[in-house]
Amino acid sequence: MSPTLPPGMDRPHFIGIGGAGMSGIAKILTQRGAVVAGSDAKDSGTTDALRELGTTVHIGHSVAHLAPDTTCVVVSSAIRDDNPELVAARERGVPVVHRSDALAALMTGSRPIAVAGTHGKTTTTSMLAVSLSALGLDPSYAIGGDLDTPGSNAHHGTGEIFVAEADESDRSFQKYDPEVAIVLNVEIDHHANYASMDEIHESFEVFVGKIVPGGTLVVGEHPGARELADRVAGREGLNVVRVGEDAEADVRILRIAPHGMSSEVTVRLGGEEHVFTVSVPGRHYAHNAVAALAAGVALDVPADGLAKALGTYTGVKRRLQLRGTAAGVQVIDSYAHHPTEMTADLQALREAAGDRRLVVVFQPHLFSRTQQLGLEMGRALALADASVVLDIYPAREDPIPGITSGLIIDAAAAAGADVTAEHDKEAVPEVVAGMAKPGDLVLTMGAGDVTDLGPRILARLEN
């Protein structure tokens, strides 16, 4: 694929350039020759990686950061209307481009695979990026997380395939025109943008409607994904491929054999059986890998080679990522913040832990999500031997009166969990050091800044 720049994006400015989705687009534009600048609230490994590429990154938000020759300003749905850089851009008549429109423009001329679903998008997109790269196909990709080092969430490749994480949270995935789309699951979430499951299904149907004629929809065996497949069955020019363990699946998972922190998967595809390793624990990750396999095959990538290449995937940051071991205690990090994700990761670690104890440090994400799903979050924590629950990480939201992490703590206690409230995040390393024993697994879990605690817990355990 030739390194072309979308019209008007030769000197873009990104507001919130350090975000997972935004930084990936900025990286690809930089690699294609654009003069990229942007701002973020604070420095991070991601902003450092962008600077190493030649991107200009300002810390803080100020009108002064917006260069006079800026050709467009790129924003995500998290950017508020009163952001001074956004206000200045509109006053000057600088075009404002949503992150999803920028990504859609970057995919023009490629063979896109768009990975969607309430959970598992980052992992499945990463599996495809790693395995297709291992086969020498050099795909472009844009992922909502880092594969191994900050800045590894995106790449401008020379191959024709472009793998992108497709975000349903703000309906932005409706902007893409994929040749292959994966829908892993469809569940209620993002309560600020969707009022009901009907609205969510309608949004996913619009996304499926953007698949190019003759393209393929790969669906997981989650009931919501299967319902979506039923809704769109019979659409002219659409191939539907069902993945799962049930006998009717087009790509059938015959066996998932856990081996500690990995699994061996046997799958039947096109009348042939393929056996490969998934180097992260849990059935849900095995299902993600098989969905990736089906998507690659839909783009004519040989199944046997792709299955073996999937074994080269060793994980992505914040998806059951081992942060280290100290005093005989393993510390692992998880991005899980929805009850389904929490349950899947906790079950995977329960299986991997055997007789060892599992201690969880959980930080709820968003007031609206806690209001709607706090009871289910608490029940999920009952899978752990002990839990420490922090205050809600607000992200882009203002507080909702009466909605606190106490909802989760009460639900966890009612489900029989050993749960402790901790309002001071700074105190957590000391609290965990007092709880953990040699052989335990400690899991930091949530979509906020709870991930910062892993290294600090390790340092405290070492002392």
Active site residues: 121-122, 165
Q: How many residues does the chain have?
A: 463
Instruction: Compute the distance between CA of residue 119 and CA of residue 427 in angstroms, rounded to an integer.
Output: 31
Neighbours of 403 (CB within 10 A): 19
State CA 225 to chain mean position distance.
Answer: 18
Contacts of 42 (CB under 8 A, 6+ apart): 18, 59
SS3 content of the chain, % helix, strand, coil (to 5): 35, 25, 40
| Burial class, 81, CB count within 10 angstroms (exposed 0-12 / middle 13-18 / buried 19+) | exposed
For residues 406-431, one letter each, b for 16 or more C-beta atoms within 10 angstroms of the residue's C-beta and e for the rest, the string is bbbbebbeeeebebeebeebeebbeb
Burial group, residue 212, by CB count within 10 angstroms (0-12, 13-18, 19+)? middle
56 is in an annotated binding site: no
Residues 390, 221: Cα–Cα separation, whole Å: 33
CA 445 to chain centre: 14
213-217 CB contacts, 8 Å cutoff, 24+ apart: 213/237, 214/239, 215/178, 215/179, 215/180, 215/181, 215/239, 216/179, 216/180, 216/181, 216/240, 216/241, 216/295, 216/298, 217/180, 217/181, 217/182, 217/183, 217/241
Provide φ and ψ at 227, rounded to 5°. Answer: -65, -40
Whether 149 has a binding-site annotation, put simply, is: no
**CB 342 within 8 Å of CB 417:** no
123 has binding-site annotation:
yes
Q: Is 451 annotated as a binding residue?
A: no
Whether 355 contacts 438, CB under 8 Å: no
Ligand-binding site membership of 121 (annotated): yes
For residue 118, say whether it is annotated as part of any ligand binding site: yes
CA nearest 172: which of 98, 114, 81, 232?
98
**Whether the Cβ atoms of residue 14 and residue 26 lie closer than 8 Å to each other:** yes
Dist. CA 396–CA 224, nearest whole Å: 27
Helices 303-310, 283-298: crossing angle, 10 deg rounding: 150
Summarize the annotated binding site for ATP as residue ranges.
Answer: 117-123
Summarize the annotated binding site as residue ranges.
Answer: 117-123
